[in-house]
Copies of this chain bind each other. A is one copy, B any other.
C-alpha cells in the first residue's frame, strides 16, 4: 500500500506531519509513504520514505480555482499522485475547501454519484460504537436524490469500515415525525421509503444522534457542518470545565487521582482527534482530510483512517453498491 501525504498547509506546520509519518511508519511496515512538501522541511524523513519536493503551499482560505492553478503546491502534487494511480490514498490537513475541490476535480466522482460527501464517525453513548454522519461539509446544499445516495454510501461505509452488518440509517431532522425536516429532507424521506431502503428508520433529532440508535445519519452538508462543529464546541467547553474543576486546589487534584480511569473513558469517547480525519466519499480514491489544527497524534490517526479505508476497499465497494 502507498499513501501520499500533503505535509504542508496545516495550522501547525510541517513538523506535525513529519512526526506523524515517523510514528506511523514505525507501526506499519507494509505501507510506503510519499511525503510531499518543501524538502528542506522534510529532512527528518530522509531514508524513511520517498520525498517529493513542492515549493508552494495552498493557503487555508483558498478556493477551487486557486488550488487548481497551484500546480507546484504540495496539495496538488499529492492529489496528482492519486490520480495517476501511483498511490492508494492521500491525506492532507490543509485548506478543506481547496482539498475537496482539487480531489473532486482530479479524481472525479464515481460514475453515478451525484455529489461527494464528507463523512466521519462520531462517538456514541455506547462505548466503542460509532455513528457515521454525512455530509458534514463537502456541500452547502443537497438535493433529495443526493441525500438518498449519501444514505447508501454511509451504509456501505458502516458495513465495510465499521463492520456493522445491518446498519440502521436515519435522516437528521428537527423532529421525529415523517412530516418534519427541511424541504429537501422531507422529499428525501419519501425517496428512502419508496426505495425500501434497508435499515431506514425515519428521522432522528440531533439530541439523539449520539445515543447509539443510529449507525448512519444523513444530512445536507450545511446542517451537518453546523452539527459537527456545535458538538466540537460544546465538548471543548465541557472538557475545559472538567479540567478546571480538577485544578482548583490540592484536594481537587487528589480527587482527580481517584477518577482518572473514568475520566480517561470520557476523554477517549469524546476525543474527536482520535477519529482523525474525515473521508471524502464518492470519488475515485481514498481521500482523507485531517483537521487543520491537527497535532502529530491526530494526523497519525488520519493516516490510520486512510490505511483502514484502503484496506477495506471502500471505493470498489461503493462502485459495486451503486451499480445494484
Contact = CB atoms under 8 A, between A and B. Distances in A.
Interface residues of A, number: 60
29 contacts: A61-B177, A125-B240, A140-B181, A140-B182, A141-B183, A205-B229, A206-B225, A206-B226, A206-B228, A206-B229, A206-B232, A207-B229, A207-B232, A207-B236, A208-B233, A219-B226, A230-B231, A234-B270, A238-B266, A241-B265, A245-B261, A245-B262, A245-B266, A246-B259, A248-B259, A248-B262, A252-B259, A255-B255, A255-B257
Contacts of A137: 174
Contacts of A241: 262, 265-266, 269-270
A258 interface: yes
Contact of A233 (B182, B206, B236): B206
Contacts of A223: 222-223, 226
A263 interface: yes
Nearest to A248: B262
Interface string A189-215: 000000000000000011111110000
A242 interface: yes
Contacts of A207: 229-230, 232-233, 236
Interface string A161-176: 0000000000010100
A256 interface: yes
A244 interface: yes
Given A222-B182, A230-B231, A258 B251 contact: yes
A140 B262 CA distance: 40
Contacts of A236: 207
A148 B258 CA distance: 51
A1 interface: no
A105 interface: no
A235 interface: yes
A233 B211 contact: yes
Interface in A28-72: 61
Contacts of A297: none
A230 B252 contact: no
B210 A174 contact: no
A210 B237 CA distance: 8
Nearest to A266: B241
Contact of A234 (B234, B246, B263, B265): B234
Given A137-B174, A237-B125, A246 B222 contact: no
A239 B221 CA distance: 28
Contacts of A242: 242, 266
Contacts of A266: 238, 241-242, 245
A209, A245, A254: which has the most chain B beta carbons within 10 Å?
A245
A243 to B, nearest CB: 9
A248 B261 CA distance: 9
A141 B182 CA distance: 7
B259 A255 contact: yes
Contacts of A248: 259, 261-262
